[in-house]
Chains A and B, each alone.
Chain A
Amino acid sequence: AQSVTQLGSHVSVSEGALVLLRCNYSSSVPPYLFWYVQYPNQGLQLLLKYTTGATLVKGINGFEAEFKKSETSFHLTKPSAHMSDAAEYFCAVSEVSGTYKYIFGTGTRLKVLA
């Protein structure tokens, strides 16, 4: 069965610093990969996704992620953190056959320090 591991349930960065949130997946077949953001008391919003093609994916709000098949990773980065980036971030994989259901990681809560 597929699984998703997000290293670090809590990450703190200073405003203006690099944001790096880690995501690794386990799958013999490269799945489709997603990053979602969840602000307090809101639903999840898609940041970016990788399906096929270019392995460096750009998303909304200045975020990007790189799919590395050899490392089974899909880490999320942003060059300069902003206070408004404080939220919870979820990595998810989708099966590429069958029901295409999502498997979510446990999430990483990002705190941005002034």
Chain B
Amino acid sequence: EAGVAQSPRYKIIEKRQSVAFWCNPISGHATLYWYQQILGQGPKLLIQFQNNGVVDDSQLPKDRFSAERLKGVDSTLKIQPAKLEDSAVYLCASSLLGQANNEQFFGPGTRLTVL
């Protein structure tokens, strides 16, 4: 079974530039998550999709971050414009149904450096 795929793995940009990350979840997984992991901290949920609908985006900085999951499969996360404090690893995860006891499967992450 293929895992969660993410690209790019690394990205370096200057502040005020825009950047986009891509995620392909495990086939058949209805729920997709984007997390932000700042160095020295645990992952923080940014947005959760159930199929192509948003379930929770309460911690997404909507003035600069946006995400979409067209057709309920792949997803993109965009930052525009980027700030220095956006430097982090962005993790994508998926789970079968999004229920409390469902395991979340994580991709390798995209490491973003904002200069």
Contacts and interface: CB of A to CB of B under 8 A. Distances in A.
B98 interface: yes
Interface in B1-51: 3-4, 40-45, 48
A78 interface: no
A100 B107 CA distance: 20
Interface stretch (A14-22, A40-48, A61-69): A40-48
A84 to B, nearest CB: 19
A101 B91 contact: no
Nearest to B31: A100
A51 B100 contact: yes
Question: Chain B at the A interface: mostly helix, strand, loop or mixed?
Answer: loop
A102 B104 contact: yes
Interface in B60-115: 91, 93, 98-109
Given A101-B45, A107-B41, A43 B100 contact: no
Contacts of B101: 32, 49, 51, 94
A89 to B, nearest CB: 10
A78 to B, nearest CB: 20
Contacts of B104: 44, 46, 102
B100 A94 contact: yes
A25 interface: no
Interface of A: 4, 9, 31-32, 34, 36, 41-46, 49, 51, 90, 92, 94-97, 99-102, 104-107
Interface of B: 3-4, 40-45, 48, 55-56, 91, 93, 98-109
